Chains A and B, each alone.
Chain A
């Protein structure tokens, strides 16, 4: 490209640059390969669980491991046949508690951001401090009180507890979303003479809709996965999906394939929701701190 007369000078100048570019490409390639190796390594146990779910029991716990097999849907059929009531209970506990969290949490967040009460930071401190209290410290009284109220093994007990468990997260998250609303919008609503409910419904809720979705996602994940309360407060009638997984572990016979099918199906709703809403997930996990 360049004139031949200047060739010696260009080579001396361009060679290091080119060498550096090549080294950059090689390093880049290595880093990309490393990333993929780590990504596949982290994902591999999930893949293995999914593979095991399609095996027969003797293939699932064989030594050496079975890598090639003809997939069967037997385990899924068995799991779906047995898990109906557990799924229904989990759906109620997760769905109703999430709705309650939003109904209680959104107005509370409003009162901590847009039209603030006094001592906002004290109230916020109180909410977050309940998340720090270890659940084990209150499980015994909850068990005894629930027994006296005759609501042991009752799905509505879990609804109430899951609501309390997720409410502080929702208050913090929704507050962080409300605080992003520009003052002009609120002033305009006030000038129009809109009341609280009207302002909430027609101005604020639409503006923080993505925030509500993120909050709901986090509440659904935590409620759907919850095990400790379900283990201690439910028996046969109100048992949820995590309890079902544990119940597929029998003392006799092989069960790993069926267990894997149950574990995979149980995790699938959260996996799909998390994959789709990765951005909301980050914000939710940091309780709104990371935008």
Chain B
């Protein structure tokens, strides 16, 4: 206990000293560049590879351009954006993106909390149970997509319908009747272990003496959970939701392989719709404009989210 405390103290002191050193005296020009040196290769590389394509995207979004006829490049101003505003499919796929992302993250988080609580108690074979539970997250997403759409949810030989048949429910063609539900099943299956691992880390970081004190005071499980565990977990839950959203909002593999966005565009999310417009419709201008709109929306959501993440990571702003 004391060792840990001293270590934490050292750490804080070290960080404070470093911060003070960085703030107090301004460095000489040479020193500033010496400090930047190690950072520059990574920074320049990231700027070149991620920002230049994005600037080109903005450029394309102002043009009417077809992937098959690159010479037909024509400046059209904001026409692509006007088209998007009128495009009801764009609105529908945007809504699907929100439904799929929030649905997956929230259900996975609830299941993850339940599983983490169950795994936090000592029992024989706990390590094995945890290992089994994290496995869905380690399966290649392409593999888990085909596993779900074929082996689990196929209308004729899928295991899921067979199980439902045991209790007298007629077979359902999941991927065409309830495509979003089918996609959510695969996504929730994949992301629940992720949430579980984060929440479990939070549970295990609880100070044991506080829990013992609560038990001594005769607090029951629910009371302890509500007033000690849950506040402690909050940071971990926020972080899980945030990282989950960042990853899940870009979901492509499951949609491409399970429903191809269909039937029609019923289960397409924005990444899939933009992909369709660019690589199946060859409409570069439209796809680029949609990309820009998505990025602007992301920036708005992300700037709120980043404040949260910075708090979680203890980065001083």
Contact = CB atoms under 8 A, between A and B. Distances in A.
B279 interface: yes
A23 interface: no
Contacts of A82: none
Nearest to B10: A182
Interface residues of B, number: 110
Interface stretch (B76-84, B140-148, B176-184, B206-214): B140-148
Interface in A73-109: 104-105, 107-108
A111 B38 contact: yes
B interface, over-half SS: helix
Contacts of A117: 32, 35-36, 39
B142 A225 contact: yes
B34 to A, nearest CB: 8
Contacts of A181: 14
B148 A111 contact: no
B316 A179 contact: no
Nearest to B297: A134
Given A167-B42, A285-B198, A260 B147 contact: yes
Interface in B189-204: 189, 192-194, 197-198, 200-202
B316 A121 contact: yes
Contacts of B62: none
B131 A196 contact: no
B135 interface: yes
B227 interface: no
Contacts of B250: 134-136
A128 B299 CA distance: 12
Contact of A40 (B121, B132, B253): B132
Contacts of A267: 138-140, 143
A131 B291 contact: no
Contacts of B17: 183
A20 to B, nearest CB: 12
B57 A270 contact: no
A171 interface: yes
Interface residues of A, number: 111
B298 A127 contact: no
A278 B196 CA distance: 12
Contacts of A164: 45-46, 49-50
A280 to B, nearest CB: 11
B225 interface: no
Contact of B201 (A45, A108, A290): A290
Contact of A38 (B118, B143, B148, B306): B118
A184 B7 CA distance: 12
B306 A129 contact: yes
B163 to A, nearest CB: 9
B198 A183 contact: no
A120 B23 CA distance: 11
Contacts of A145: 53, 56
B284 interface: yes
Nearest to B301: A132
B38 A290 contact: no
Given A62-B157, A116-B18, A123-B39, A160 B49 contact: yes
Name the residue among A31, A137, A141, A262 with the largest chain B CB count within 10 angstroms. A137
A203 B71 CA distance: 57
A216 interface: no
A31 B156 CA distance: 35
Nearest to A241: B140
B118 A242 contact: no
B295 interface: yes
Interface string A20-57: 00000000100110111011101101101100100000
A282 B197 contact: yes
A125 B278 contact: no
A108 B270 contact: no
Contacts of B243: 285-287
B156 A63 contact: yes
Contacts of A9: none
B252 A227 contact: yes
A235 interface: no
Contact of B22 (A45, A118, A129): A118
Given A124-B315, A164-B45, A110 B38 contact: yes
Given A136-B270, A143-B279, A242-B253, 9 more contacts: A105-B42, A115-B35, A128-B309, A129-B306, A136-B271, A139-B275, A232-B275, A285-B198, A291-B205
12 contacts: A35-B129, A61-B157, A117-B39, A136-B274, A182-B10, A182-B11, A227-B252, A228-B252, A264-B143, A274-B137, A278-B130, A285-B198
Instruction: Across the A-B interface, give the 10 residue pairs with the lowest CB-CB distance, nearest first.
Output: A137-B291, A107-B38, A263-B143, A183-B14, A141-B56, A108-B42, A111-B39, A164-B49, A138-B53, A43-B132
Interface of B: 7, 10-11, 13-15, 17-18, 22, 32, 35-39, 41-43, 45-46, 49-50, 52-54, 56-57, 60, 67, 70, 114-115, 118-119, 121, 123-125, 129-144, 146-148, 150-152, 154, 156-157, 159, 162, 189, 192-194, 197-198, 200-202, 205, 236, 239, 243, 246, 249-250, 252-253, 256-257, 270-271, 274-275, 278-279, 284, 287-288, 291-292, 294-295, 298-299, 302, 305-306, 309-310, 312-313, 315-317
